[in-house]
Amino acid sequence: MPPTPTHCPYCALQCGMFVDAEAMITPREDVPANAGGALCQKGWTAGELLSAPDRVTAPLMRAHRDAPFERVSWEAALDRITAEVGRVQDRHGRDAVAVFGGGGLTNEKAYQLGKFARVALRTANIDYNGRFCMSSAAAAQNRAFGLDRGLPVPVTDVPEAGAILLAGGNVAETMPPFVRHLAAQRERGGRLIVVDPRETPTARLADLHLQLTPGTDLALANGLLHLAMTEGLIDEAYLARRVSGLEAVRTVVNAYWPERVERITGVPVPRLREAVRLLGTAARALILTARGAEQHATGTDTVTAFVNLALGLGLPGRPGSGFGCLTGQGNGQGGREHGQKADQLPGYRRIDDPAARRHVARVWGVRPEDLPGPGLSAAELLGALGTEDGPRALLVFGSNPVVSAPDSARVEKRLDALEFLAVADFVPSETAMRADVVLPTAQWAEETGTVTNLEGRVLLRRAARPRPAGVRDDLEIIAALAERLKAPGRFSTEPSEVFEELRAASAGGIADYSGITYERIVAETGVFWPCPGEGHPGTPRVFLDRFATPDGRARMVPVEHRGPVERPCADYPLHLTTGRVLAHYQSGAQTRRVRALVDAVPEAFVELHPDLAGRLGVDDGATVRVTSRRGSAVAKVRVCATIRRDTVFMPFHWAGAARANLLTNPALDPISRMPEFKVCAVRVDAVDQD
Ligand code: SF4
């Protein structure tokens, strides 16, 4: 059999690859994201995931949480879930059963999971781990543009940009093939500016690195806009024609004069001036944010400040230019467009919009008044589990919040307080191991379905291998549960049929997929949404004529720097920031099971500046305890001069005592409900190894 063309199971670039029957992987050259056939180490080794040694291949169940798991039949496992859901809802109400989804699920699964929650369980409480990923960028873009799509242009436009500012993104490790697009940009004379508290591999590629104090990105962006205004670099004609709200923003950024911004951010004034000059004089420019700028309790306002800067320079809606967000998870973009979020219905519709409810209810064959309203966002949902008014039972699909949620010891406690927990996953993740029932699922190369990458390009993953005996697809699991719960309407197990229904449900919405078909995706190597009709070409570049707001104008919104919730103090004198390494992905549930990736980076570490290491009396390889107000994590030291003296860094891919999210702050952004993963106050102590 010839190798099957499909896409990587990991990040939002969704590189194209061929997979053969032996799970050997070769890159595709026809997919623009791959930049001519590149894959990173994770992509090359993704075949090994299919035969993970501890892969779950039969449903597991136990009578109570202290009992060992036993292999049981699918009938027994599904019957137990149905009985527990019924019991909990009879006793505590419909919202007492919650669903937690994942940004790695295909569009079909995300759509079906949202429908299952609203129609079969009739619970308001469904959200997903993408809330931890790009929700602040989504909220800011919706506020400014009326539409949230990762990149406003295809990756093939990146090399054309005369200047790119990347705030809080380390693409050299998170999505290395993207670096080829940046390299092409620089070969053509383009300049790259990176904003990051660490001198990451990406920052080392940059022409200009703005190494700011963690949690001060908003002040930096306001300061750059101040300079653009005072140096005559803003595009007054564009602003008059296409943007509202300039004067209120001008009033606020007046107070962000360069010396003040240097004091707040630690970035020298000449560097601020150079950055704004590069951006303001380029014929085409892109301003991009990623998790470093977004994962803050002020994340929405921080992204808004970068959007304001982009609007001030006249970038959004100009060919090859604009503001964008580098999404993180494989289907983080599509995952939030089709009803997996607590406040949304398919097509990126608001769940509290009566017209949206009528439209989706008609597609689902139910009455609009029977659809629940908005539910709890991810962190709030996890925080409420097992409480008096919170959910008493939880169904998790494709997520591992025990490792990936902030203040994760609290998450463990909340999961343990549940009356019932079921997890659908293909490996025994740390979350699955706390469940009452574990359902073994198919994974990426064993299933067909669409994903939407960081460009807003809808792609088709195709099954390349049969799944192991005993394993089911999530769509089959959802359909079986819906049938047992006597849900109205139809829950197809066939991805193409679910996609047809998704097209109808999204028609007329912001994320309109109604013109996208599997055939078109294959023929055109992906189709960009919005695509309202089969005759529509799709929309590779957004906002060229108008923004998706009622009056067609983008909205500038004044925002003020507030800084992180926790600042260094006598007890916790350092900033902690967290992030990823090249060899691992998200909670590590997948990549910690791939030999080559474990060999590359076998364990967590703590980056310390040499001066700090000297003060603590520790060398490279010593063990330290990092302590925040929520707990402690223990890991080995990496001494490096690339980090600020006041900051330590930990990657968040590991479980157990080295779990970075034992430390992180669950404080939420008031709009996006994004937790403040990216900065909290900690102290570091040497651990006696005698
Ligand atoms: Fe491409 Fe991301 Fe997969 Fe690496 S992890 S091969 S960058 S999609």
**397-451 pLDDT, tens per residue?**
999 999 999 999 999 999 999 999 999 999 999 999 999 999 999 999 999 999 9
Ligand 1 proximity of 175 Cβ (cutoff 6 Å): yes
Mutate to test the pocket of ligand 1, among 6, 7, 15, 25 (most ligand atoms within 8 A of CB): 15
| 41 CA from centroid of ligand 1 (Å) | 8
Among 518, 399, 532, 498, CA closest to 115: 498
Could you give the CA distance from residue 323 to residue 326 in angstroms, rounded to a whole number?
10
| 180 CA from centroid of ligand 1 (Å) | 13
Shortest-distance Cα residue to atom 7 of ligand 1: 175
- Name the DSSP class of 213: P
Ligand 1 proximity of 297 Cβ (cutoff 6 Å): no
Share of the chain above pLDDT 90, in %: 92
Could you give the CA distance from residue 305 to residue 298 in angstroms, rounded to a whole number?
11
Ligand 1 proximity of 582 Cβ (cutoff 6 Å): no
Could you give the CA distance from residue 287 to residue 623 in angstroms, rounded to a whole number?
39
Residue 603: pLDDT over 80? yes
Contact 633, 659 (CB under 8 A): yes
Residue 681: pLDDT over 80? yes
Chain-centroid distance of CA 672 in Å reads 13
For residue 9, which atom of ligand 1 is closest to its CA? 3
Could you give the CA distance from residue 214 to residue 567 in angstroms, rounded to a whole number?
10
Give the CA distances from residue 331 to residues 110, 128, 217, 584, in Å, rounded to whole numbers and listed in that order. Answer: 9, 12, 26, 17
Note the ipTM here.
0.99
487: confidence class by pLDDT, cuts 50, 70, 90: very high
Could you give the CA distance from residue 350 to residue 347 in angstroms, rounded to a whole number?
9
| 181 CA from centroid of ligand 1 (Å) | 14
Could you give the CA distance from residue 161 to residue 592 in angstroms, rounded to a whole number?
37
| 345 CA from centroid of ligand 1 (Å) | 29
Burial degree of 565 (CB within 10 A; 0-12, 13-18, 19+): middle
Ligand 1 proximity of 40 Cβ (cutoff 6 Å): yes
For residue 41, which atom of ligand 1 is closest to its CA? 4
| Half-sphere CA count of 554, side-chain side, radius 13 A | 34
* Residue 125: both structure tokens together: 């409480």
User: Is 135-326 a CATH 3.90.1150.10 domain?
Assistant: no
Among 114, 420, 458, 140, CA closest to 299: 140
**281-336 pLDDT, tens per residue?**
999 999 999 998 888 999 999 999 999 999 999 999 998 899 999 988 888 888 88
The pLDDT score that the predictor gives to residue 21 is 87
| 10 CA from centroid of ligand 1 (Å) | 6
Among 343, 381, 399, 304, CA closest to 109: 399
602: confidence class by pLDDT, cuts 50, 70, 90: very high
Could you give the CA distance from residue 656 to residue 380 in angstroms, rounded to a whole number?
23
Give the CA distances from residue 108 to residues 19, 112, 466, in Å, rounded to whole numbers and listed in that order. Answer: 21, 6, 19
Ligand 1 proximity of 171 Cβ (cutoff 6 Å): no
For residue 330, which atom of ligand 1 is closest to its CA? 8
Share of the chain above pLDDT 70, in %: 100
Shortest-distance Cα residue to atom 6 of ligand 1: 43
The chain-wide mean pLDDT, for the chain, equals: 95
- Name the DSSP class of 347: T
Residue 676: pLDDT over 70? yes
Mutate to test the pocket of ligand 1, among 11, 174, 453, 584 (most ligand atoms within 8 A of CB): 11
Give me the mean pLDDT over the 617-646 stretch: 95
| 122 CA from centroid of ligand 1 (Å) | 36
Mutate to test the pocket of ligand 1, among 28, 42, 326, 581 (most ligand atoms within 8 A of CB): 42
The pLDDT score that the predictor gives to residue 133 is 81
Mutate to test the pocket of ligand 1, among 6, 28, 39 (most ligand atoms within 8 A of CB): 39
Could you give the CA distance from residue 83 to residue 529 in angstroms, rounded to a whole number?
40
Decide: helix, strand or coil at residue 468.
coil
| 200 CA from centroid of ligand 1 (Å) | 18
4-49 CATH choice from 2.20.25, 2.60.40, 2.30.30, 3.40.50: 2.20.25
Name all contacts of 200-208 with Cβ < 8 Å and 24+ positions apart: 200/170, 200/172, 200/173, 200/642, 201/170, 201/172, 201/173, 202/166, 202/169, 202/170, 202/171, 202/172, 202/173, 203/170, 203/642, 204/172, 205/172, 205/179, 206/166, 207/278, 208/271, 208/274, 208/275, 208/278
Bridge partners of 459? 451
- Name the DSSP class of 467: P
For residue 40, which atom of ligand 1 is closest to its CA? 4
Ligand 1 proximity of 14 Cβ (cutoff 6 Å): yes
Mutate to test the pocket of ligand 1, among 7, 8, 461 (most ligand atoms within 8 A of CB): 8
| 31 CA from centroid of ligand 1 (Å) | 12
* Residue 33: both structure tokens together: 């994201």
Ligand 1 proximity of 11 Cβ (cutoff 6 Å): yes
Shortest-distance Cα residue to atom 2 of ligand 1: 11
* Residue 186: both structure tokens together: 């620089």
Q: Domain ranges in the chain?
A: 4-49, 60-132+333-528, 135-326, 574-686
* Beta-carbon count within 10 A of 75 CB: 10
The pLDDT score that the predictor gives to residue 689 is 65
| 475 CA from centroid of ligand 1 (Å) | 25
Over the range 416-435, which residues count as b (16 or more CB within 10 Å of their CB) and which as e?
A: eebbbbbbbbbbbbbbbebb
The DSSP result for 519-577, as a single string, is HHHHHHT-EESP--STTS---SS--SS--SSTTS-EE---------SS---SSS-EEEE
Ligand 1 proximity of 583 Cβ (cutoff 6 Å): no
Give the CA distances from residue 316 to residues 32, 63, 538, in Å, rounded to whole numbers and listed in that order. Answer: 22, 56, 18
Could you give the CA distance from residue 438 to residue 419 in angstroms, rounded to a whole number?
15
| 51 CA from centroid of ligand 1 (Å) | 19
Among 555, 524, 584, 403, CA closest to 11: 584
- CATH class of the domain whose range is 574-686: mainly beta
Task: Give backbone dihedrals phi and psi of 626, rounded to 5 degrees, phi first.
Answer: -105, 125
Could you give the CA distance from residue 455 to residue 327 in angstroms, rounded to a whole number?
9
Give me the mean pLDDT over the 585-600 stretch: 93
Ligand 1 proximity of 541 Cβ (cutoff 6 Å): no
- E strands present in 118-211: 126-128, 163-167, 191-195, 208-210
Shortest-distance Cα residue to atom 3 of ligand 1: 43
| 17 CA from centroid of ligand 1 (Å) | 10
Contact 171, 178 (CB under 8 A): yes
* Beta-carbon count within 10 A of 517 CB: 19
**184-231 pLDDT, tens per residue?**
999 999 999 999 999 999 999 999 999 999 899 999 999 999 999 999
Bridge partners of 27? 17
For residue 178, which atom of ligand 1 is closest to its CA? 7
Among 601, 463, 586, 597, CA closest to 45: 597
Could you give the CA distance from residue 327 to residue 130 in angstroms, rounded to a whole number?
9
Burial degree of 226 (CB within 10 A; 0-12, 13-18, 19+): buried
* Residue 94: both structure tokens together: 């419909």
Ligand 1 proximity of 326 Cβ (cutoff 6 Å): no
Ligand 1 proximity of 328 Cβ (cutoff 6 Å): no
- Name the DSSP class of 117: I
- Name the DSSP class of 663: T
As a 3-state breakdown, the chain gives helix, strand, coil percent values, each rounded to 5, of: 35, 20, 45
Ligand 1 proximity of 42 Cβ (cutoff 6 Å): yes
Give me the mean pLDDT over the 30-54 stretch: 94
Ligand 1 proximity of 10 Cβ (cutoff 6 Å): yes
In the block, tokens 């390299």 appear at 183
What would the 3-class secondary structure string for 16-55 be?
A: EEEECCCCCEEECCCCHHHCCCCCCHHHHCHHHHCCCCCC
647: confidence class by pLDDT, cuts 50, 70, 90: very high
Give me the mean pLDDT over the 385-408 stretch: 95
Classify strands 16-19 and 25-27 as parallel, antiparallel or unpaired: antiparallel
The pLDDT score that the predictor gives to residue 690 is 58
Q: Give the CATH fold of the 60-132+333-528 domain.
A: Rossmann fold (3.40.50)
Contact 340, 113 (CB under 8 A): yes
Ligand 1 proximity of 233 Cβ (cutoff 6 Å): no
Ligand 1 proximity of 584 Cβ (cutoff 6 Å): no
Decide: helix, strand or coil at residue 605.
strand
* Residue 315: both structure tokens together: 């970038």
